[in-house]
Chain A
Amino acid sequence: MTKHLLKLVWNRKRINFLITVEIFFSFIVLFGVVLAAVYYVDNYRQPLGFNYENAWRVAVEMNNRAEGSHSSQSSQTDINAPKEPSEKAEPPSATTFKQLMAAAKEFDEIEGVATCTVTPYGDGTDTSSIGDDSNPIRYGVSMVSDDFPQVLGLTLTRGRWFGKEDDGANYRPVVINERLSRDVFGDADPLGKELRRPDLPPKQEEEKSTPMRVVGVINEFRKDGEYTAPDNFLFRRQLLNNQMSREPNALMLKVRPGTTAEFEEKVIKRFQAIAKDWSFEIEPVTKMRETANTFRLAPLIAGGLVAGFLMLMVAMGLTGVLWQNVTQRTKEIGLRRAKGATARRIHKQILAELIIIATFGLIFGVAAVVQFPLLDVIGDINSRVFSLSIVISLAVIYALTVICGLYPSWMATKVQPAEALHYE
């Protein structure tokens, strides 16, 4: 039966070739959109790690970033504060930050306040890596003050958050997420260990600097929100004293539920009075989340719309072509009817032929698509998401072709044997 159908398909190879090509490209286009959608849904279902409700971000611009003060901004090694004697004077910005935090706590509407260098849904990122240069383990970093987990509702799974007990210690306390712990320590307990690859000798600069010691593990912290892939993250302790190595660039406020936007002006006026030269920008994290997610989803929505219309166009085109095929084959179909084929069998024949043609296109489509990870066209998308997207796209294309074939094949069943005989 299949052999016979293949022969029938081959007999009309020119028109069938065009249909195959069309199905091939439809599959590629659909796969692109489905892959993005599945990727986003997969990310969305994983825990975010923090609570954005009632959190406000106050971005702080100090307007005084002269070269001297920001040379210490990004490198890791100069945070060897405990080695230095404490005769260094406290930088004025640290004093101002402490005043700002104290002022924030005076408001009844503010339940908690913390500093950070990377804000959730914010633009800035800060990454670092450990391990050898050829295969480093990368992670995002934020320096935060001790109250940060309360303000953003982080969940500790192991150990503790850093705090006063780490003052003057000969290590730098860090809190990492489970993912980073797994990448670095495997199944071993990371608590109390130095953060470096156990299987590698320490790098030169790691030797020089004060070691980072893991004091706690959180379940997750996805800085860029629910649509991005979960990534490694590490929190370092922000010191606001003479050992401050880097200035925070934002304050996170936890406000009482129901606090309105009018309160923003009060906060800014108060802050402005404390730090006359600084600029402040205040925004609820829920709003930042909305903006960030809109920009992340907009390309997918636009792509989805375009792909949707393309599929509609292909579906209509396919229906037209199949319809035409059937009208052309009146003779052949009529003859089969005259020889005793039932309407049901004709129906089946037309659909089976169509599925064979579609399968050809899809084989090439899948063959093309599996090259993507090999050619490294798409980033780090895991194989589960990838194969699920292939399955969904295949199902959609098959469904689409069958739907397009329904009406023409129904028409074919209406062919009367007499019509066919009348032809000759």
Chain B
Amino acid sequence: MKKALAYARATDTCVSPKSFFSCFFVLFVDEVFMLKNYLKIAFKVLLRRKFFTFISLFAISFTLIILMVATALFDNVFAPQPPEDKADRSLYVMGIRLQGPESQSTGPAGYVFLERYVRTLPNVEKVSIYTTPNVVYSFWKGGKIKSFLKRTDGEFWQIMGFRFLEGGPFTAEDEKSANFVAVINEATRRKFFGDEPAVGKMIEADGQQFRVVGVVGNVPIFRINPFADIWVPISTSKTNAYKSQLLRGEFQAAILAKSSADLPGIKSEFESRLPGVEFPDKREFNTAIGGADTMFEFASRMMIPSQQMESQPRKLLAIIISLMVLFMILPTVNLININVSRILERASEIGVRKAFGASSWTLVGQFVTENVLLTLIGGVLGFFGSQFVLKLIADSGLIPYAEFHLNYRFFVYGLLTALFFGLFSGVYPAWKMSRLHPVQALKGAGGSR
């Protein structure tokens, strides 16, 4: 009680506005002075109730960390980031489902299918066809090196914006004349050659010899389309069997449209071509289902079970958002609880301040400052905490070449949510209490119910 009185004296002796306007005016004039004072008090109050402060900070920063890690993982898979820097006008045909009277099969398409039905799409700037990454081994200087190998074409390098550390991509010409050339990533260069440059040197992979023409930065494994350790031309395949693979195979395609406005047209054109697919044996398969998708649309196709394997990006987004909200509810309720308790505990302090002539607005100003300060400290802790956790995940090696970036937009959303509920649960009761008669407030009447 004594302490509360001391605080009251420190702030209120010079302020005694009667009406709303004068109060506002005084607040405005003395803004700088008041803000400094508010901050001082806020700090003191936070330090006085260390336990409550700790709980609030823990809740805010912990919630932010989870939110940040989740969005970073999400972005790592879906957000447009290099090498997929033209994601706004890119589509992918990553798999098709084939249905027949007795069986169905879902997986990457055959080379011929993509050549026939994707390569020929209208309003398209470029189409690239590539295999899913295969595990291959190289026996190198007495050791074994395991890498992912992707076979692709010259267009691949024009659709994806790879960052070349050395040399450059192979070309459509290399693909046509089946040159044994390879682009490797940084990690592979280190495994083969240590820190020395690799361009011009030979590597062995899966029993074949390739001349390295370029070295690119590592691509995270979740960027399913560009990801590999070693990229070589499709025509270097061990056999020519892929040229007769119609439906099922190991190929995917990336489509680069001339502009993002053409994407819907390309999608519907591709889907309208599917009923016309020629099946070599209708007793095995007679229907093809699939689509030209963005990464997220494709994920919704695969994750939400449905007979026709439709793309339902909205439904997937709704599921993700509701999970997020479900997760956020508990910390929010906790925060509200703590805040309400804190304010109730300070009922007598509010009473004393009122008795010394503090207006409701002054009190509200003080509590707002306190809450903002608390949220900001929590935000800073959350910021560094999430950096730390993301680094921990990246260093754990669970996800090869993982590269996480904080999503600042979501960081701000998280902070604003914390601030909103902080204000709603901390300032609103305080404001209501400050409207009470000082005597009642002093007796703690605002708190018991």
Contacts and interface: CB of A to CB of B under 8 A. Distances in A.
Interface of A: 11-15, 18-19, 21-22, 25-26, 28-29, 61, 63-68, 70-71, 74-77, 205, 261, 264-265, 268-269, 272, 276-279, 281-282, 294, 298, 306, 309-310, 313-314, 316-318, 320-321, 323-325, 327-328
Contacts of B54: 316
B329 A25 contact: yes
Interface of B: 51-52, 54-55, 58-59, 62, 66, 100, 102-103, 105, 110, 134-137, 139, 144, 206-207, 237-239, 241, 244-249, 280-281, 283-284, 326-327, 329-331, 333-334, 336-338, 340-342, 344-345, 398, 444, 447-449
A328 B447 contact: yes
B330 A279 contact: no
B393 to A, nearest CB: 9
Contacts of A317: 55, 59, 334, 337-338
Contacts of A15: 337, 340-341, 344
Given A18-B337, A205-B102, A281-B137, 20 more contacts: A11-B449, A21-B333, A22-B330, A25-B329, A29-B327, A65-B249, A74-B103, A74-B105, A75-B283, A75-B284, A76-B103, A279-B207, A298-B398, A316-B51, A318-B337, A320-B51, A320-B341, A321-B338, A323-B51, A325-B341
B305 to A, nearest CB: 11
Contacts of A74: 103, 105, 284
Contacts of A66: 241, 244-245
B200 to A, nearest CB: 26
Given A12-B448, A19-B337, A63 B241 contact: yes
Given A25-B333, A279-B206, A314-B334, A65 B105 contact: no
A87 B52 CA distance: 85
Nearest to A19: B337
A320 B334 CA distance: 10
Contacts of A268: 137, 139
Interface of A is mostly: helix
A316 B333 contact: no
Contacts of A18: 333, 336-337, 340
30 contacts: A12-B449, A13-B449, A15-B337, A15-B344, A22-B330, A25-B329, A61-B134, A63-B239, A64-B241, A65-B245, A65-B249, A66-B241, A66-B244, A67-B245, A68-B280, A76-B102, A77-B102, A268-B139, A272-B207, A279-B206, A313-B330, A313-B331, A316-B58, A317-B55, A317-B59, A317-B337, A321-B338, A324-B341, A328-B444, A328-B447
B139 A71 contact: no
Nearest to B62: A309
A260 to B, nearest CB: 12
A314 B207 CA distance: 58
Contacts of B448: 12, 328
Given A272-B207, A306-B66, A328-B345, A316 B102 contact: no
Nearest to B65: A309
B338 A64 contact: no
A139 to B, nearest CB: 14
Contacts of A14: 449
Contacts of B327: 29, 306
B241 A65 contact: yes
B345 A324 contact: yes
Most chain A beta carbons < 10 A, residue from B237, B284, B337 = B337
Given A14-B449, A67-B247, A321 B337 contact: yes
B106 to A, nearest CB: 11
A324 B325 CA distance: 28
A265 B398 contact: no
Contacts of B447: 328
Nearest to A124: B107
Nearest to B399: A298
A369 B49 CA distance: 37
A377 to B, nearest CB: 11
A277 B206 CA distance: 10
A326 to B, nearest CB: 11
Contacts of A294: 398
Interface centre among B55, B102, B327 (most CB of A within 10 A): B55
Nearest to B249: A65
A63 B238 contact: yes
A298 B284 CA distance: 38
Nearest to A70: B248
